[in-house]
Each structure stands twice: as structure tokens, then as C-alpha cells.
Amino acid sequence: MAVAWAQWNHVTKVDPDKALHDEDSYADIVDTGTDAIIVGGTTNVTEARVQSILDALSAVEIPIFVEPTYRPSSHTEALSGYLLPIVLNADDTLWITGAHHEWIRLSDLEWESVHPEAYIVLNPASAVATYTQADCDLDVDDVVAYVELAEQILGQQIVYLEYSGTLGDPDVVAAVQDTLSSAQLFYGGGIHDYESAYRMANVADTVIVGDVLHEAGIEAVEETVRGAKDGQNES
């Protein structure tokens, strides 16, 4: 069976710590044409906040995954599964195996719905870089080496270049894409319009937008979906 994310060109990430724009509703996200929704963030992500978003998305038919930063106790019907970040360049090992170990120890997991993502955090000014104490002082060879480590040593199926809050360097993303043999490349960070989505979809398999949903709203997300689809077709 193909993995859930094989056909994702565009994903919208909902941060439980941020409000939606104007009159937007969570259910409106589907109208943008995005392929999937990830619920996750770095600060103030509680099970109650995630649950209320999942409730608002209960009638939605695209896949919905949660990136857990809390210990989930129940598996909601609306949920397709969990995407579990492993931050490869974190200095704080809590974000490599520590939180995961605790989560596994305390939870009764259904393993078929838990999928790891090998994150490489690349914007030193982001909250995720601060929290994980990520070493973002990496040149392209360093990043590529992390990517090989992820795929060839750790057997990861998803590599996530996380530039959260800023648009990354397309040359670095392209170098990573060239390095991967079969893992899927997720790119996230700073995508805010057609052009930026197009550019990154040219070099990544899946582009992820976050802030644009909360700051500019559904129509802006829709523009990024069009950019991602066109960029993907061109690549």
C-alpha cells in the first residue's frame, strides 16, 4: 500500500497556538485544494487545543495528522495518524529520542498510525530552533550529510527541511532532493504566495504552509496551493 503522503504536493499546517485569520473557519481549509492538514506547533500545544481543532475538522475528507508535542490519550476518528518529528540537528536530545521515549512509555500506541519525520531545523531565529537548541550553522554539505544519515542509517521515509518563518535556500533544497533515493522531501518555511510556493515545489516533493494561514487567511493559502501544483508539474 502506498504511504499516505505519497501524493501530497501541498500541506497546510495548523498551529493550535495561533488564531485563524478574520472569519475563516477550520473547515474552509479544504476549499483551498490543499492535500492534507497537519495540526502542530512548538509552543502551548495542549491536547485540549488540538482536540478542539480536530472536532472542527470532523467532517473534513482530506487526511489529518497531528505532530504531537503532548501525550495523546485518545485517537479521534477524524485523525489519520501522528507524524512524529525527530530533530536530527537538535542539541537537546529531548527532541531526538527523549520525548519520544516518554511518549512510548506512557502510551498505548497503534504503530500503524505513527510515522516519524526526520527534521532538519534551519532557521536559527525560529521558536523550534530555540526550543530544540538546534545547530543551524550548517552548510549545504552538512545538511546533505544529515539527509543521508536520515535515509541511509535511520531508514527515515520523510525528510523535513524546516525553515519555519523564513523562506529557505532553493539550492539547498535541490541538493537535498538530489541526495534522496526514495524518502519524501517535505519543505516548510516562509511560503506566502504563488511564487514562493512554485519555487519550492520545484525542488521539494511536498510544500508545507503554516503562518500564511494564520496571518493572511484562506485565499492566500489557495494561492500557495496553485503555486505548489504548478511548480510540481514543472519539476
Pick the stretch among 44-52, 92-100, 103-111, 202-210 that binds ligand 1GP (CB under 6 A).
202-210
Enter the C-alpha cell of residue 106: 506512557
CB of 151 to ligand 1GP, least distance (A): 20
Q: How many CB atoms are closer than 10 A to CB 134?
A: 25
For residue 52, give every residue at least 6 positions away whose Cβ sits within 8 Å of its Cβ, in sequence order, or none. none
User: b/e string for 50-78 if b means 16 or more Cβ within 10 A?
Assistant: bbebbebbeebebbbbbbbbeebeeeeeb
CB of 129 to ligand 1GP, least distance (A): 11
Which residue in the set 14, 45, 86, 191 belongs to the binding site for ligand 1GP (CB under 6 A)? 191
The 3-state DSSP class for residue 166 equals coil
The rounded distance, in Å, linking the Cα atoms of 133 and 19 is: 26
Comparing CB distances to ligand 1GP, the nearer of 189 and 231 is: 189
113 labelled binding-site residue = no
- Name residue 68's amino acid: P
Which residue in the set 68, 85, 116, 188 belongs to the binding site for ligand 1GP (CB under 6 A)? 188
Q: Does 168 bind ligand 1GP (CB under 6 A)?
A: no
Which residue in the set 87, 208, 218, 220 belongs to the binding site for ligand 1GP (CB under 6 A)? 208
Contact positions toward ligand 1GP, by CB under 6 A? Answer: 13, 162, 164-165, 188-191, 208-212
| Binding residue positions for Mg(2+) | 15, 42
